[in-house]
Chain A
């Protein structure tokens, strides 16, 4: 707490305020948890990009060295076909991160747009959309994704689409709730009195004020989508061998849990750290982007 006192800067010290993004960046840098999250996320992204280039071939099998414990030759050991686990985690990071981030981004774009429109206009549009959403929400997230992936066919693109569509109903609900609450505030009436168009009101007035809810949703949804991808792949509805993902590694390690528990441990740690990274980053962004937060 005493740190707060020291870092608190005298208000209105400079007459020329810095650009907004600079102030935001400074506030972000002052939050160790947020920075940790950023490092984790950026670290995994770099790992996913550079790992497969720098490390050994993730598909190279070495039957003289199967199910080895971690060593200098194989940092995280080898799997049942003698493949290097570290290289495979780097390779799997591409699929896992892509599936997690892309599907969530897609779901947010679609869900926020529909949710804001229904929450803003209400009326019969709202009734129709929300009944459809209710039906979709009646299915558990994964069952819905599995069904969709089965219809679409197995490929990374289809996995992303299936995961995105299954996330959309939840996003619609959140965006609609926010839109309904925020549109009752007087500054929205003020915008109407200005002569603002409906689109302007939705995306300039309502959406920014709902930002924290969306960020929280994203940080929860990305790890869930990564796990969702692993389930789809496990069922044979996701990426196909020899492509790999953390989920595939995790599920194939199941058979060897007794002999080689680290096979499940390392992809598990990778998923957990990624989830943690996105969560910390999301929390930090939510606080820093809120103008009321001055620290």
Chain B
């Protein structure tokens, strides 16, 4: 892949200040703490992590809905991390967002037609007739009937609304779409149809996508490559097949083992690793590996030294763990000595 990536994020940091300015008890929430990401042209990168891991903040920083604290975000080679809102405006046609909740992401006072036309209006694209044509085309592509043009969002189902949100995100032909949990608010049956629409449109239109989700079956279905996030950092990134075949970071292993399987016979033979403890509060500064407190195989080095995201076993499979070695590969966390529950039911 020699061509320029659509998105290159390096060392992205977003710290939120909380607490009063006058009172002494001011705390810093490290929502995103040094994230590196690259998304190639036409690639779908799945960003997984549990709630509070900072994945949505990464998305909103990249869309410049949130001002990052530091780091660079290169969109099509141009650093957008410090652009003002005015400077950012023309570039907004290159990146768009699909939000999680289709009930609050559409303006309740606008009709479907108006909602999808809005981006074209803001960027002064085309005449009225051309806009109508583009909008009709986009609605059709997302599988919406043209009869819905005059309807208001509250008259639509959740799945239809999310299609409208998708049509709106794609109407300017962006290079990058940030999908922030676009299917988590939907029924499972509707999820599948929306995911298929995204995949079909991706093939037709060729956009790149940062797909943020906590649902492993969704990332497995949609992503080309997967990045796993834990406590504001990316702990592992690999192609989809590679990650599911050989999860290296202990956190990824635990995450994958926890995913429910539809096939009970394969589930029976599987060991389920249950982590002790909760996600630590992102307000405390943690020395060493962010995962060491919950990691069953942690060694002393893990509490002192921050592991870097390195491609130990190959350049395409990077993980941030001291225990991953080129000779032995990943540590097996079910052999750790911390209080683990082995569930071989």
Contact = CB atoms under 8 A, between A and B. Distances in A.
A192 interface: yes
Contact of A205 (B99, B101, B107): B107
Interface stretch (A94-102, A106-114, A181-189, A267-275): A181-189
A195 B104 contact: no
B96 to A, nearest CB: 6
Interface residues of B, number: 30
B192 to A, nearest CB: 23
A193 B174 CA distance: 11
Interface string A11-37: 010010100000000000000000000
Given A186-B99, A291-B152, A291-B154, A195 B119 contact: yes
Given A189-B65, A200-B122, A195 B90 contact: yes
Contact of A193 (B92, B100, B101): B92
A292 interface: yes
A190 B152 contact: no
Given A193-B65, A291-B154, A187 B106 contact: yes
B97 A189 contact: yes
Q: B90, B107, B119: which has the most chain A beta carbons within 10 Å?
A: B107
Nearest to B171: A194
A269 B88 CA distance: 59
Contacts of A200: 122
Nearest to B90: A195
A240 interface: no
Given A194-B118, A291-B154, A186 B109 contact: no
Interface string A196-212: 11001000010011010
Given A193-B65, A195-B92, A200-B122, A187 B147 contact: no
A191 interface: yes
B185 to A, nearest CB: 11
A205 B165 CA distance: 16
Given A196-B122, A291-B154, A187 B89 contact: no
Given A15-B147, A195-B123, A200-B122, A187 B154 contact: no
24 contacts: A185-B104, A186-B101, A186-B105, A187-B104, A187-B108, A189-B105, A190-B99, A190-B107, A193-B63, A193-B95, A194-B118, A194-B122, A194-B123, A195-B90, A195-B92, A195-B93, A195-B123, A196-B122, A197-B89, A197-B122, A208-B107, A209-B107, A291-B109, A291-B154
Given A194-B92, A195-B89, 6 more contacts: A15-B147, A186-B100, A193-B92, A200-B122, A205-B107, A292-B154
Interface of A: 12, 15, 17, 185-187, 189-197, 200, 205, 208-209, 211, 291-292
